[in-house]
Structure 1
């Protein structure tokens, strides 16, 4: 998961979910104030504060592609009491990073993206290679839904940062797939390093937490992984303990 043409900027404001005003700090356009596409429609109020340093991807082909903006906001340096934490904010990055991660597993094959199942569409579908009761190798069909996590409190990763009816629906669909004989996974891609645990954000959306409990009881695999994040890349890295209650 790599980004070309990255520059730093100073965040000014965000008049709506889709755009932000940023003053560029590095590169040929340093000093210029630009309108950026925000690649995350979540609230991100704890991240996008006036004056924080953000990462922008410059799109030199913007006019050719018909883009309204030449820059996309993809990352932020969150200033904490003890340090500064680099967080990838691109809501499209977790799916691609998860796809790359799953492709690297020797126990998985035939990986596909955006697969329709019944009235549902899952982020990933693949075949798990496992031994059956007789010791023979067999393929087990599986689905995976991916959620990106950008909210943290004292190294505790939380999802969601705003109520998500769509997220609850995805969990219910995974439960149905599990009942139909598929393996089902919900992967939380934590878009930063240094987190000691992951939990559903019951204060923000209690229904999501209850749905996650139901899914876990139904046999849906609940996974959380952190990421190695640089200014121009993001890679799924290590498992993070999941605490649902």
Structure 2
């Protein structure tokens, strides 16, 4: 997954969830933030960031905030990137689901009851729902999700369990938007209900996976499966 027209900048502040003020060559500009999460540990004043530039006159802002340099580690904070990275990996034939049969069909987003899961796929014998969660929160090389309470996330887990009980293969994939963390764990301190729901999902046969990513200034690609501690 490649970004075009990447520009180095310095983060200054974030007036609201959708925009930030950054500086390029000591000139302040307003940029779109492609992540509505808190990201407080990433968006610290004077942190080095990377922006994608757009020339379209119809845009309110000319830049999207894509990547943050956190103490020398590049962290992608584009909330649309995890879904695209997983789809790209599956489309390219990578066996990230750890299954024996090849996929015969893949599509982005599929409605199931009151939820819309991120990816729907099929093998010759099975129908598969995949829910994807992007992870940007890191402390002491341990990565966690969520960084804010997510009732929607709990709802998706419960409907994945329902889909499993109705014959679908079901997955939750945590896409770690950085490289080489020690392991992934639910953020019980921030949202205990989500962590408990994840434990319950595992007991019901939901397959839970986590992958880190190779992140550069202008790209993000799914990398290695990492350990999960529930």
Give the alignment's TM-score, normalised by structure 2: 0.95
Residue 72 of structure 1, aligned match among 59, 64, 72: 64
Structure 1 residue aligned with 2:119:
124
CA distance in 2, matches of 1:226, 1:55: 20
Give 1:135's aligned residue: none
- 1:131 aligns to what? none
Per the alignment, residue 41 of structure 1 pairs with 36
Larger Rg: 1
Partner SS, residue 104 of structure 2: strand
What CA distance in whole angstroms lies between the structure 1 residues aligned with 2:16 and 2:115?
30
Residue in 2 that maps onto 1:27 = none
Task: Give the CA deviation at 1:37.
Answer: 0.4
Flag structure 1 segments of 5+ consecutive residues without an equivalent: 25-29, 129-137
Q: Which residue of 1 aligns with 2:202?
A: 216
Where 1:139 maps in the other structure, the secondary structure is coil
Report runs of 4+ in structure 1 exceeding 4 Å deviation. Answer: none
Q: Aligned partners of 2:204, 2:224: CA distance in 1, in Å?
A: 25
Match of 2:15 in 1: 15
> By how many angstroms is 1:117 displaced?
1.9
Alignment of 1:189 onto 2:184: no
Q: Which segment is superposed worse, 173-182 or 117-126?
A: 117-126
DSSP 3-state at the match of 1:2: coil
- Paired residues of 1:168 and 1:211 also in contact (CA < 8 A): yes
Q: Which moved more, 1:100-109 or 1:183-192?
A: 100-109
Deviations 1:151-209 (A, max 9, x none): 01111110001101111111111101100010000000000001110000000000000
| CA distances 1:53-109 after superposition (whole Å, capped 9, x unpaired) | 001000111x1xx21100110110002xxxx11000000111101100111236222
Per-residue CA deviation, residues 129-167 of structure 1 (Å, 9 max, x unaligned), is xxxxxxxxx420010000100001111110001101111
Contact 1:103 1:109 in 2 (8 A): no
- When the two structures are aligned, how many residues end up with a matched partner? 223
Match of 1:93 among 76, 81, 87: 81
